[in-house]
Amino acid sequence: MPRFVGCRDGSEVKCACSASGATHGLKSAVSNVHITFERSGGVVGRMVRTNVDSSKLAPEEAQHLAQLVEDSGFFQLPATVQPPAQGGADRFQYRLTIDDGGRQHSVQMREDAVPPPARPLVDWLTRQGRRSQGP
């Protein structure tokens, strides 16, 4: 039987899960996500920065972003993700801070240390940063 979950703004989101109380990602569907992202380094050294506020995105894009954050396991990552080996002076460095309304966490990592589940989030943010800065 579908159940309804109240949102911060007073609206409700219908969940098709059982009456067991599981939310299956509903928190991501209803929370605003604020992200600060920086990519530095690389051969050229061009900085890419962006600030993303999911409340300013189209609903489908906001949901996609929330799912990327959830799938990345971001809030379980350490503050610094160490690469598997030293070296790589020309590698990109990433700094992300995410606030989902209930939690805030910052992570720094080099491109060769990005955990595979977090790669789609980093790639999406890099594209957003490039778009906001232009060519």
Going by the DSSP 8-state scheme, the letter that residue 9 receives in this structure is: T
Report the b/e string of 67-88 with b at 16+ CB within 10 A.
Answer: ebbbebebeebeeebeeeeeee
CA distance 21 to 44: 50
- Alpha carbons 120 and 74: distance in angstroms, whole number: 12
Q: How far apart are CA 15 and CA 97, in angstroms?
A: 29
Q: Which residue has the higher pLDDT, 116 or 23?
A: 116
pLDDT at 119: 97
At residue 117, does pLDDT exceed 50?
Answer: yes
Residue holding tokens 């911060």? 8
Under 8 Å between Cβ of 67 and 50: no
Q: For 23-61, how does the pLDDT look when each residue is reduced to its tens digit (9 = 90+)?
A: 444 443 447 999 999 999 877 777 889 999 999 999 999
**CB neighbourhood size of 45 (10 A):** 9
Q: Is the pLDDT of residue 64 over 60?
A: yes
Q: Which residue has the higher pLDDT, 135 or 77?
A: 77
Cβ atoms of residues 47 and 126 within 8 Å: no
Rounded distance between C-alpha atoms, residue 82 and residue 110, angstroms: 7
Which has more confidence, 39 or 131? 39
- Neighbouring-strand partners of residue 15: 3
At 87-99, the pLDDT tens digits run: 666 789 999 999 9
What percentage of the chain exceeds 70 in pLDDT?
72
pLDDT at 88: 65
Q: Please tell me which residue, 18 or 103, carries the higher pLDDT value.
A: 103
